[in-house]
Structure 1
Amino acid sequence: MPALPATVAMTIGSIPLGDSLAWIAIGVFVAAMIVEWYGAVDPARYLAAAAWVVFGVFWLTMVPHYYLEIKSPIETLLTLAALPLCAYTGYLLVRGRESLLLLSKAVAFMGLIYLPAETIPFVRTWLIETTAAQTHFGMELLGHSPGINEGANGYQSRFAFDPDETVTGRTTYIVMSCTGIGSMAIFGGLIAAVKAPLKRKVVPFLTAIVVIWFLNLVRNVFIGLASPWGWFQQDALVYIATEFMGAPADRTSYIVAHNFISQALAIVALLGITYLVVRRLPEVLEPLEDVLYILTGSEYDLADALGQEMRADGGAATAATGTESGTGPDASSDAETDR
């Protein structure tokens, strides 16, 4: 939810450089997934390794956007770290860590969910303007009705607060990252990639989508009101925003609400949603364990860390009988059909 218009991005022909790299990376990820499906594991590893490197370069191109435009320390650090982490993932694949093909498949599905929404004009327009309308409705529930007009991105997504009546004279507008589609794509990709019956995937998928949608709406309302009404225009925060981040003083409330409070809480929310998903679909733990291995170099057993054994059907097994806690003796016989 920017408070300032974006700068012009680098392009290849008429296509933004970031979009080009993203499509190339996802295309190679998909190719690796298809090759693996046909049983050619070694070629799949090398294809996936190449895809990870291109994916890392894509994130590197996003650093100026997050640092100069969004002024987000968290996102800037993450994008800077992406290239070495992606390159290391490719290295592990080349060295023979076949389990990373599952994580690569998850990224392929994430891209197939996110990129069409990001690059197909009518889908992008619908997502942005629908999110803006829903955010405006949330503001109305709290007693604010500024109306919506055209934002700097050309969509009907700007909250039309009167600058003469607000504290900062600023307002915000909805962009693609405000729609929650990125987080939805992450969980959609993880759930689609793992092997499990379709009916067991439906509930965790819908749970993730609904929770992300609701929390994202709350986030947008919070930022959309904090920026014009100057909820965080305290002297200490203004000093940090102006002296250390080079931002105008009247943009402080936006930066604090968006870049610090909302992004920090988003990490907590994603961890909570992940827990809800793995309780129903523990297969998702496998690619998550590989993520931790990439980050730390150590192997993890996340099922053990959760404090109880998790069955492949999503239930919790007792140590004595192996049956689902609180169910009858025949519970295991319909394990694949009760969800």
Structure 2
Amino acid sequence: MIENVLWVAVALMLACSLIPKRIKIRKLLGAIGWGFFSIHWFYQPMHFIEIRDYVNVVLVIVVGIVCLILAYNMLKEYKSMKLIGDGTVDVTSMATVATALASLFYFPFAQMDSLNVWIISLVTDNVFWTLQALGQPAEMAAWNKIALNGHQVEIILACTAIESIALFIGLIASVNAPLKKLLSAFMVSVPIIYTLNIIRDVFVIVAYAYQWFGPNSFDIAHHTIAKIGSGIALFGIAYIVMRILPELVDLIEGIWKMVTEYIYSIYEKVRNE
């Protein structure tokens, strides 16, 4: 059920991205696509609650709300029948293109068993090789499981950094810039994200194996320390990418302005009632 909702959202956003800008129906398709996309994100909190990943619980709820705000603004743009003029950043369209491209890259890995197994196997092998290179007596307990010091960790899709990689690919590909700049932005983001993720997985496995933080070592290492470290790393990488592609600054500022204006309008309504 939820997979169908997801593919409907991606199809609508892709259609919005491909239809020429002068055709206003694209804004309506984009608005509906963002609405469906929000359903996907609002469906996620229960999964993260079950695995006690409360940072992601908050994150997916925030993403779902942002999706609804983008849907609302695209619907307003459609109803106003006003085209975005040349030289003006069309924030909702740019965000839709970036999301459609990122989704097209990511969701095949999430939905197709062959790609899912391939990326997880690749990361598992790289993590195992790194542990061996560091002198750790790790063992392959299964094709996607690594054992160390009597403790076993399973590598799942979320451990591959494919979400972050897809996000940066979508953002970079959505920008109209010279190929040299696009390739530079790719090289300072995707390979570095993949490498840092291998280091993150190694850290979590070693911390859990030797109980560095007591009985809750896995939760502390994975849900807290690794999350904070990943956030700082992604922030730094995003800063470098935006220096290369300043058009992304306009996108982020536009979305921030859109979200804050919407929240402020809700606040004003509540205050005046």
Same topology, TM > 0.5:
yes
Which amino acid is the alignment partner of residue 39 of structure 1? Answer: R
Is 1:133 equivalent to 2:125 in the alignment?
yes
Q: 1:230 aligns with which of 180, 203, 211?
A: 211
- Name stretches of at least 5 consecutive residues in structure 2 with no aligned partner: 78-83, 85-89, 263-273
Written as runs of structure 1 = structure 2, the 5 A alignment for 1:1-339 is 12=1, 17=2, 19-35=3-19, 37=20, 39-40=22-23, 42-69=24-51, 71-96=52-77, 98-150=90-142, 156-161=143-148, 163=150, 170-233=151-214, 250=215, 252-297=216-261
Q: Does the 8 A contact of 1:48 with 1:90 survive in 2?
A: yes
Normalized against structure 2, the TM-score is what?
A: 0.87
Q: Could you say if the C-alpha distance between residues 280 and 84 of structure 1 is closer, same or farther in structure 2, counting changes exceeding 3 Å?
A: closer
Q: Does the 8 A contact of 1:56 with 1:84 survive in 2?
A: yes
Q: Does the 8 A contact of 2:49 with 2:57 survive in 1?
A: yes
Deviation at 1:161, TM superposition (A): 3.0
Deviation at 1:229, TM superposition (A): 1.4
Q: Does the 8 A contact of 1:207 with 1:277 survive in 2?
A: yes
Rg: which structure is higher?
1
Which amino acid is the alignment partner of residue 46 of structure 2? Answer: P
- Name stretches of at least 5 consecutive residues in structure 1 with no aligned partner: 1-11, 151-155, 164-169, 234-249, 299-339
SS at 1:148 equivalent: strand
Deviation at 1:84, TM superposition (A): 2.4
**CA distance, structure 2, for counterparts of residue 223 and residue 106 of structure 1:** 31
Deviation at 1:38, TM superposition (A): 5.8
* CA-atom RMSD in angstroms: 1.7
Runs of 4+ in 1 over 3 A off after TM superposition: none
**CA distance, structure 2, for counterparts of residue 260 and residue 38 of structure 1:** 43
Percent identity reads 25
Query: Alignment length, in residue pairs?
Result: 251
SS at 1:160 equivalent: strand
| Higher helix content, 1 or 2 | 2
**CA distance, structure 2, for counterparts of residue 293 and residue 139 of structure 1:** 45
Normalized against structure 1, the TM-score is what?
A: 0.70
Q: Does the 8 A contact of 1:131 with 1:179 survive in 2?
A: yes
